[in-house]
Structure 1
Amino acid sequence: MENELQKLIISAQLTPKEKEVADYVLENLQKCCFMTSTELAGVLKVSYSSVIRLTKTLGFTGYPDFQSFLREIYAEQSRDVDTGILIPAERIEAIKKKEHKATVQDTVCAYTLSNIQSTIASNTEEQYRKASSILINSDVKYIFSSRGSTCVGEFLNTILRQTLPHVYNYGSHGQNMFDFASDLKKGDAAVFITYSRYSKLMYLTAEMVHKQGASIILLTDKPTCEAAKFADVVLTARADSSEFYNSYVAGMFAAEMLCAYICRETNYSNQELLERIDEYTSQIGNF
């Protein structure tokens, strides 16, 4: 992608001021990933319009679009490990062999921002609205997650329980996932959160729920996830990480987006419920 940026600059007809900005960006890619257009103009002592004109000349819709492109480049440069390696112990071996060229903060930021930007690009408003409609109109809602992705499941459970009735989160206390899913039926809904290396248990449970007639919303990292064939809606949120574990920040972002759509679609009909809950939680300082 860095070569692509260079090609864009070479092929463009740039003014002297635009060339000055372009040269600075190429030489200070890391800084520019996190600078506003005003800050960039200030550093170079050029007008704000010179920065904006450069982005338009290079074919971008504006500075945010241009900066997203820069962050994608930086994310590629900062990758300390091939994200295709899925086994944690093998990822550690790959990490140890890499030369760390960027700081931990910059590397983690690059991965996280790239994951979120990919999530924004991959999921349409129509997908979120369809998923929201399924959850709002279903009789009961079950949430299934496992291992690292349980942080996303717990968040989704907390917000949905404060927004919609009959929300249940799977917990392996005394029952397996099949026991938990066995009473789901047509008119009900299930949210499955599963990431590479996809759990066979989650796949089989999704198959069971699908056969029982319940609607399925799948939150995963790739549309090629095998359980996607059972889903009514698939939301994708990348989990690329510089370390041995998956990053679930983008997954949390997708879950928050879904909750926000539900709040808007229901016109915040949960206000009385929240007041009733707060009447008691406030007495013990549990907010």
Structure 2
Amino acid sequence: MDDLVKKIQGMSLTRTDAEIAEYILANLNTIGFQTSTSLAEAIGVSDTSVIRFIRKLGFKGYADFRGEMNARAARQINQVQQDLSPGEKYARSRAQLKQDSLISDVGGYTLENLQKSFAQLDQGTVGQVVDILLSSDRKYIAGFRGTACCAQYMASKLLFLTPHVVPVTHADATAVENVLDITDKDCLFLYSFPRYSQICGVLMDIARENGAKIILMTDRRTCPLASKADVVVVAQVEGLGFTNSYVAPLSLSEVFLLAISGQRDVTSTERFNRIDAVMEKEKLY
């Protein structure tokens, strides 16, 4: 926000401009949530005065200004959140949670994560992921701590569609031992979100050295691990509370699974019939 602050400080301001400027500078982290009308009412000036001042700052209009403020606030939040431990996130979020609006607040965060994630996914990427998974002999599906739920879901459903699926969900020596034998005929599907566990980079390096294809699902294309992957899938995991929200990664995983099922009819295979028979006999529903 320093550039905006410097710009305002260097301007020649009328009394009304000064009032608007003072309010904006005092509410930099939340100003993007206000409409021009609510901002004008809070300051005690006209809507026209607010829009005129926003244009003096170099913005095309209030929507342009509001979008920039939200983007800047999000960048600051993301930078802070990535460096926080779960305990620190808990301490921070506990003071901010509103118990009487948890349902709508969590719902809002979840829907926004889903919308942003699906907006960044295209059919070409889906096709790449499906091709890699179906053409690989062994599919190593990895995710640790919070992302273990994503890896477990993907691995269990994928195993129903194709054999030789290896879940890797423990961030210890067994993860290395599992992936060490990966070959150029295999692939690694890795889930990794802030704070990007170091073991994820280790596994990607092993897979890359052995010639295996790598699919990475993460929160941004510029994350530290993205350069090691053949395909990067972006999923938003910003949570209202002390941990990431994995609804979006799970939903994107379902897209890949459905795309695979659309290309491979497993119901007529001997493998499927044997699975179905055992499940029915042992009541493993």
Fold conserved between structures, TM > 0.5: yes
* 1:92 Cα offset (Å): 2.1
Corresponding residue for residue 119 of structure 1: 117
| Residues 63-82 of structure 1 aligned to structure 2 (within 5 Å) | 82=77
Q: Which residue of structure 2 aligns with residue 144 of structure 1?
A: 142
Counterpart Cα distance in 2 of 1:2 and 1:93: 24
Q: 2: distance between equivalents of 1:4 and 1:257?
A: 36
1:167 is aligned to 165
Pick the aligned partner of 1:236 from 234, 237, 254: 234
Counterpart in the other structure of 1:177: 175
Which residue matches 1:57? none
Which residue, 90, 93, 96 being the options, matches 1:95? 93
Alignment correspondent of 2:272: 274
Change (3 A) 1:229 1:4: farther
SS at 2:196 equivalent: coil
More helix by share: 2
State the SS of the aligned residue for 1:216.
strand
2:79 paired with 1:104: no
Q: CA deviation at 1:119?
A: 0.9
| SS in structure 2 of the partner of residue 168 of structure 1 | strand
Could you tell me whether the CA contact under 8 Å between 1:162 and 1:270 is conserved in 2? no
CA distance in structure 2 between the partners assigned to 1:6 and 1:203 by the alignment: 48
Distance 2:153 2:97 in 1: 36
Q: Distance in 2 between matches of 1:198 and 1:180?
A: 20
> Deviation string for 1:125-156 (max 9, x for gaps)?
10011010011011211111111111111111
Aligned length: 217
Q: Displacement, 1:88?
A: 1.6
TM-score, with structure 1 as normaliser: 0.68
- In the other structure, the counterpart of 1:41 is none
Q: Distance in 1 between matches of 2:172 and 2:95?
A: 43
The structure 1 segments of at least 4 consecutive aligned residues displaced by more than 6 Å after TM superposition are 4-7
Residue number among 198, 201, 212 corresponding to 1:200 in the alignment:
198
Flag the structure with larger Rg: 2
Per-residue CA deviation, residues 173-228 of structure 1 (Å, 9 max, x unaligned), is 99522211111111211101111000001111111111110000001122222111
Distance in 2 (CA, whole Å) between partners of 1:254 and 1:216 is 17
TM score, norm. by length of structure 2: 0.69
Percent identity (aligned): 25
Shift of 1:102: 5.7
Q: Name the Cα RMSD after superposition.
A: 2.9
Separation (CA, whole Å) in 1 of partners of 2:126 and 2:143: 19
Corresponding residue for 2:58? none
Contact 2:182 2:212 in 1 (8 A): yes
For residues 221 and 276 of structure 2, the distance between their equivalents in structure 1, rounded to whole angstroms, comes to 39
CA-CA distance at 1:276 after TM superposition: 2.1
Closer, same or farther: CA 101–209 of 1 in aligned 2, 3 Å: same
The CA deviation string for residues 24-54 of structure 1, in whole angstroms up to 9 with x for no partner, is: xxxxxxxxxxxxxxxxxxxxxxxxxxxxxxx
Q: Secondary structure of 2:245's partner?
A: coil
- Secondary structure of the structure 2 residue equivalent to 1:198: coil
User: In 2, Cα distance between the equivalents of 1:239 and 1:181?
Assistant: 26
Which residue matches 2:216?
218
Amino acid at match of 2:106: V
Structure 1 unaligned residues grouped into runs of 5+: 8-71
Instruction: Classify 1:103/1:134 alpha carbon distance in 2 versus 1 (closer, same or farther; 3 Å).
Output: same
The amino acid of 1:220's aligned partner reads T
